[in-house]
Structure 1
Amino acid sequence: MSTPVNKAAKPAGTGNPGFDERPKHGVGDRFRSWWNAQSRPAQWAYGLPFILLIALLPILNIPVLTTEGTNFGGVMAQFGMYALIAIGLNVVVGQAGLLDLGYVGFYAVGAYTIALLTSPDSPWNQTGEGGWLSSQWAWLACLPLAVAITAISGLLLGSPTLRLRGDYLAIVTLGFGEIVRLLADNLSDITGGGRGLSQVAYPRLGTSETNPLGVFSAGYNDGTLNSGVYWYWVSVVLIVLVLLFVGNLERSRVGRAWVAIREDEDAAEIMGVPTFKFKLWAFVIGAAIGGLSGALYAGQVQFVVPTNFNVINSVLFLCAVVLGGQGNKLGVILGAFIIVYLPNFFLGRTELFGIPIDGDSIAEYKYLFFGIALMVLMIFRPQGLLPVRQKLLTYGRELFVAARRREQAEGGSK
């Protein structure tokens, strides 16, 4: 005689009548559901005050957040560049699932495009006599050129190499990044070699008798605002535009193809997805965004040198994506903020919460601490700080299938 089964005690999702079979959602999913239920004007009404608050961070001087050893406006400007890099690399790594260890090469191509066309040290300078660029608007005019040239470089690199997968693709992209750096270091007649290219153009806005170079010139500071704050505002505008562009792609057929390729490329190809085409799209779009960030870097620093484009920085960019959450746009921005902010937070500090520390030494060992943080993260939270929604739904589907199998097993034993 079989023991009666209390159907009411079965877990949700087992097919019992009277019970909600909808999967349980976490805080992130509830927020996404609420956000997606809002109309587009309502989303902008909620989002604009938040964007404004983020833009005002450098001038609010929040005591806990503001850095002591370095200017907070400059830190936020650097964060803006890293956030753009993380969004572009997230398209390649997080969305399409392609391991790219040489993304710094695209960053360098964008920076050198601006420098070669606007620096007086370059033989290709177009801002002097006989050039076709105005010194006031040269940076802005070269910005789309930098994006286009970097996208073409992504196309040239991706066309022959994207048929490779995994470690082989990672090695090829790593080689590309090193090739770009070595070319910049050895073509001294064009790139200036180890000396670099100086006096790179920047937007000449806010000029006056007391400030003939404008508010975007390196070293500008009027006591309240500095050049870093202005460059941070430019980066916020660019980040919003890039997020809108990438977000629309994610919700389109292209984004769905990227997710299919990331989860299982062979299955996607069997189902009719032209995987090579969509991987190439991801590579080109990611390269273009990386070039945009490189152009932002060249205008802000106004000095481009090959040592800033080494493999360590490329790994640091990848660290921001993995730390924040591969595939999640807001997650990788959080990862970029952590990568940039934490070393600068400790810089110059002698105590923290009443505890004596050597902040400069802590900042010098940033690569060690980031490496340890990644190891801990991979053990306890491999999906990153803010996991991507598609992966959460995948795990939820696996739990639902397991519950179904349990129900079938219990039904067969009766």
Structure 2
Amino acid sequence: MKDKKFSFLKKKENVTYGIVIAVWIILEILLKAGMVSSHLEGLLVPMCYYAIVAVGLNLCVGILGELSLGHAGFMCIGAFFSATFSQIFKDVLPGGVRFFLALVVGVVFAAIFGFLIGIPVLRLNGDYLAIVTLAFGEIIKNILNALYLGLDSKGFHVSLTSVLELGMEPDGKTLINGAMGITGTPRDANFTIAVIMLIITLVIVQNLINSRDGRAIMSIRDNRIAAESIGLNVTKYKMQAFIMSAAIAGAAGVLFSHNISTLQATSQYFGYNVSIMILVYVVLGGIGSIRGSVIAAAVLYLLPELLRGLNKYRMLIYSIVLIVVMIINWAPAIIEKRQELMMKLRKGNRKNGTA
């Protein structure tokens, strides 16, 4: 019985990887043939990093069962730390090595901030995590908007007032220029790298879910008291899932910062509304469904952009699609019909296997 369940889960994972790879191959062929507009081409990397952060948030919301409203803040941490690293080593390291190290820097610092937030909050029950992460996202954004960071032969200089207050030597370079952000970050990210990062994220999350630790995390989600009664270290497993979720959001931020030339900590990119939008992707894709998060993020990010030509009806069509997706995913009658169809398909596969 366990072997059958394991093989079914592996098939589901392989289908998810297959969908991502198939879409990448098709789009690459269309790009090479010049059949994709420059507007759509510019949306491909953002589509991937929103899918990555949606998978990370689903790990927190769907698998762990804790609501986070600050994943845009973790994206912001990963984006700024990695972009600062790339700025420092822009003329020292080759592009591939620089991007890989910037990715490590962004992920590590996002995980550190996730750990610092999780220490006091994840020991408690209730909606404290949602409140704290919401505040964290706004605090980080405002701090970075007021931060001036420079580097010269004497080292780093920090100010919260202006560039002049940095007091740098003539050879100094401004890394973060307050509300102007970081300019001139190497654009090392591309669609292929974004897809590779998405697949790596899927592999990490799926392996965690199917592991012993993943089962422990889901048991805590389902019944914390029962999990404690059998000796599970609840705080440890909650910290593990939340830190991994924050690190994945940081990786999405690295991809974001290396896809644009000017990085600013604005509400448009890292505000509360962005965190809510990512949560919408998770809910509409199905809470706990990793594949659903990827598909929902891709479709719901691209749809408003592709409908920009329909100025008057764009948001109306988008709203109708959201309602339809919500009904398909959560209406009891449709869920029942979908389960019946899946049972028939499984029975058909078994008959074909025994024939």
TM-score (norm 1): 0.65
Over 3 Å counting, the alpha-carbon distance change for 1:382 and 1:37 in structure 2 is: closer
Over 3 Å counting, the alpha-carbon distance change for 1:95 and 1:34 in structure 2 is: closer
Alpha-carbon displacement from aligned partner over 1:239-290 (angstroms, at most 9, x marks no partner): 2122112111111111111111111222222222211110000111001111
1:325-344 superposed matches below 5 A? 325-344=286-305
* 1:187 corresponds to: 147
Report if aligned partners of 1:99, 1:166 keep a CA contact under 8 Å in 2.
no
* 1:201 corresponds to: 186
* 2:42 corresponds to: 74
Are 1:380 and 2:331 counterparts?
yes
* 1:360 corresponds to: 311
Over 3 Å counting, the alpha-carbon distance change for 1:235 and 1:261 in structure 2 is: same
Structure 1 or 2: larger helix share? 2
* 1:280 corresponds to: 239
* 1:158 corresponds to: 118
Report if aligned partners of 2:16, 2:291 keep a CA contact under 8 Å in 1.
no
1:79-94 superposed matches below 5 A? 79-94=47-62
Over 3 Å counting, the alpha-carbon distance change for 1:298 and 1:233 in structure 2 is: same
Shift of residue 48, structure 1, vs aligned partner: 7.1
Over 3 Å counting, the alpha-carbon distance change for 1:361 and 1:181 in structure 2 is: farther
Q: 1:173 & 1:299 partners in 2: Cα distance?
A: 25
Alpha-carbon displacement from aligned partner over 1:122-174 (angstroms, at most 9, x marks no partner): xxx3435xxx6456642222111111111111111111111233322211110
Shift of residue 93, structure 1, vs aligned partner: 0.7
Are 1:176 and 2:136 counterparts?
yes
In the alignment of these two chains, the number of paired residues is 307
Query: Based on CA coordinates, which of the two structures has the bigger radius of gyration?
Result: 1
Report if aligned partners of 2:58, 2:290 keep a CA contact under 8 Å in 1.
yes
Q: 2:16 & 2:293 partners in 1: Cα distance?
A: 18
Give the residue type in structure 2 aligned to 1:112: F
3-state SS in 2 of match to 1:127: coil
Give the residue type in structure 1 aligned to 2:231: G
Structure 2 unaligned residues grouped into runs of 5+ = 150-157, 159-175, 343-355
* 1:252 corresponds to: 211
Q: 1:137 & 1:327 partners in 2: Cα distance?
A: 34
Structure 1 residue corresponding to 2:63, chosen from 77, 95, 98: 95
Alpha-carbon displacement from aligned partner over 1:200-246 (angstroms, at most 9, x marks no partner): 1233xxxxxxxxxxxx6xxxxxxxxxxxxxx2211111121221121
Q: 2:221 & 2:323 partners in 1: Cα distance?
A: 26
Alpha-carbon displacement from aligned partner over 1:42-62 (angstroms, at most 9, x marks no partner): x86x88765442112324559
Q: 1:135 & 1:241 partners in 2: Cα distance?
A: 20
Shift of residue 89, structure 1, vs aligned partner: 0.8
Shift of residue 72, structure 1, vs aligned partner: 2.1
Structure 1 unaligned residues grouped into runs of 5+ = 1-21, 23-31, 120-124, 204-215, 217-230, 349-358, 393-414
Give the residue type in structure 2 aligned to 1:82: Y
Structure 1 residue corresponding to 2:26, chosen from 24, 32, 57: 57
* 2:192 corresponds to: 233
3-state SS in 1 of match to 2:241: helix
Report if aligned partners of 2:284, 2:329 keep a CA contact under 8 Å in 1.
no
- The two structures, once aligned, show a CA RMSD in angstroms of 3.6
Q: 1:371 & 1:103 partners in 2: Cα distance?
A: 21
TM-score (norm 2): 0.75
Report if aligned partners of 2:81, 2:106 keep a CA contact under 8 Å in 1.
yes
3-state SS in 2 of match to 1:301: coil
Q: 2:27 & 2:114 partners in 1: Cα distance?
A: 34
* 2:349 corresponds to: none
Over 3 Å counting, the alpha-carbon distance change for 1:258 and 1:185 in structure 2 is: same
Q: 1:164 & 1:377 partners in 2: Cα distance?
A: 34
Q: 2:17 & 2:55 partners in 1: Cα distance?
A: 20
Are 1:295 and 2:281 counterparts?
no
Report if aligned partners of 1:58, 1:73 keep a CA contact under 8 Å in 2.
no
Report if aligned partners of 1:95, 1:327 keep a CA contact under 8 Å in 2.
yes
3-state SS in 2 of match to 1:300: coil
